[in-house]
Amino acid sequence: MKTEHALNNGPPAWLQAGPFAAVFALFFVLPLLLVGAVSFWPTSDYELVPGFTLQNYVSIFDGCGNLAEPCVTLKTYASTLTFSLLTWAVTLVLGFAVAYFLAFHVRTPGMQTLLFIVCTIPFWTSNVIRMISWVPLLGRHGLVNQALVGMGWVQEPVEWLLFSQFSVVLAFVHLYTMFMLVPIFNSMMRIDRSLLEAADDCGASGWQTLWNVVVPLSRTGILIGSIFVLTIVMGDFVTVGVMGGQQIASVGKVIQVQTSYLQFPLAAANAVVLLAVVLMIIVALNRLVDLRKEL
């Protein structure tokens, strides 16, 4: 009774949520509003001039009306979406497989924790360092090419291993598989093991149990991991720049180049368009699984 009385006499709910709402507004809502406002300012070479114009958005989609020849913006978004979908597919397969092994084949919680920590060890170092570590492996005179030439599998070093779309996707998978693995593993650990036993008693094969029991009950983790991977890759510019040899275009790279040339209104407009595309992707994924109900 005393505890209930103390709770009833506590501060109102809106006051308790006030500090968190203030932090959210200050570090999330306000920056987004500022970016949206700057996207309508006129473009200037050396200074920011407040105003209102749609020219930045017109410049982004300039020439996109010709469907026979896609404009630069559409080609850039197509390239970025390709990277995102390839990374999503590979990380989904790897993350699901590792999470399934940890959740259902490792019996003791201690061993699960140990193996999970082993999976997180690469995250103890910088993303840039992990990307650069691929260069001596995949370079023209790297270890992989030396091994391929030494075994006689190729006559000369393979060029597409580094500074290519392959190396960009490989780096993305290396960097972001854990973002897919963790939510899937969390969902799998919540699955009632009696359901698996019931499926086995009904004569279901391992693949049938996996497809009809494990996958549907892991869909929340799959969706959360998919949102993490897709949104991060869509806005990434460091990985594309380093592993692509500054030769591959992406939306994040375009924004980074525009900011480096002090074209902040144009960069802000590109950021708003990118945000709109990412939100559409999240809404589409959310239609597959209602996170509000699942969580």
| 83 contacts 250 by C-beta, under 8 angstroms | yes
| Average pLDDT value for residue range 206-215 | 87
If one counts the domains in the chain, the total is: 1
Exposure class string for 50-59: b at 16+ Cβ within 10 A, else e: eeeeeebbee
pLDDT at 85: 94
The alpha-helical segments, DSSP class H, found in 12-51 are 13-24, 30-38
pLDDT at 1: 47
Q: Does the pLDDT of residue 2 top 60, yes or no?
A: no
pLDDT at 276: 93
H/E segment holding residue 294? helix 291-294
- Report the share of the chain in percent with pLDDT over 90: 29
Residue 246 lies in a domain: yes
User: Helix 264-288 and helix 219-235: axis angle, to 10°?
Assistant: 170
CA 51, CA 176: separation in Å to the nearest integer?
40
CA 33, CA 22: separation in Å to the nearest integer?
15
CA 259, CA 265: separation in Å to the nearest integer?
9
| Average pLDDT value for residue range 166-195 | 90
Residue 33 lies in a domain: no
pLDDT at 109: 84
Residue 227 lies in a domain: yes
pLDDT in tens, 40-97: 998 877 777 888 888 889 888 887 777 667 788 888 999 999 999 999 999 999 999 9
DSSP helix, strand, coil percent of the chain (3-state; round to 5): 75, 0, 25
Residue 65 lies in a domain: no
Q: Does the pLDDT of residue 31 top 70, yes or no?
A: yes
| 168 contacts 232 by C-beta, under 8 angstroms | no
Residue 45 lies in a domain: no
Domain limits for position 106: 71-294
From the list 245, 268, 246, the residue with the least C-alpha distance to 258 is 268
Sign of CA dihedral 37, 42, 45, 49: negative
H/E segment holding residue 85? helix 72-100
| 176 contacts 91 by C-beta, under 8 angstroms | yes
Burial class from Cβ neighbours inside 10 Å (0-12, 13-18, 19+) for residue 193 reads exposed
Amino acid in the structure at residue 103? A
Q: Does the pLDDT of residue 8 top 80, yes or no?
A: no
Q: Does the pLDDT of residue 221 top 80, yes or no?
A: yes
| Average pLDDT value for residue range 206-212 | 86
Residue 51 lies in a domain: no
Residue 83 lies in a domain: yes
- Residue 183's pLDDT band (boundaries 50, 70, 90)? very high
Q: Which residue has the tokens 């270890």?
A: 143
CA 183, CA 225: separation in Å to the nearest integer?
6
pLDDT in tens, 97-149: 999 998 888 878 888 888 888 888 877 888 888 888 888 888 888 888 888 88
Residue 2 lies in a domain: no
From the list 287, 283, 266, the residue with the least C-alpha distance to 73 is 266
The mean of the pLDDT values for the chain is 86
pLDDT in tens, 267-285: 999 999 999 999 999 888 8
Rg (CA), the chain: 24
SS3 sequence of 86-99: HHHHHHHHHHHHHH
The alpha-helical segments, DSSP class H, found in 101-189 are 109-120, 127-132, 135-138, 143-150, 165-189
What distances in angstroms separate CA 239 from CA 5, 104, 143, one per listed residue?
A: 55, 34, 21
pLDDT at 295: 57
Q: Does the pLDDT of residue 168 top 80, yes or no?
A: yes
| 246 contacts 201 by C-beta, under 8 angstroms | no
CATH assignment of the domain containing 209: 1.10.3720.10
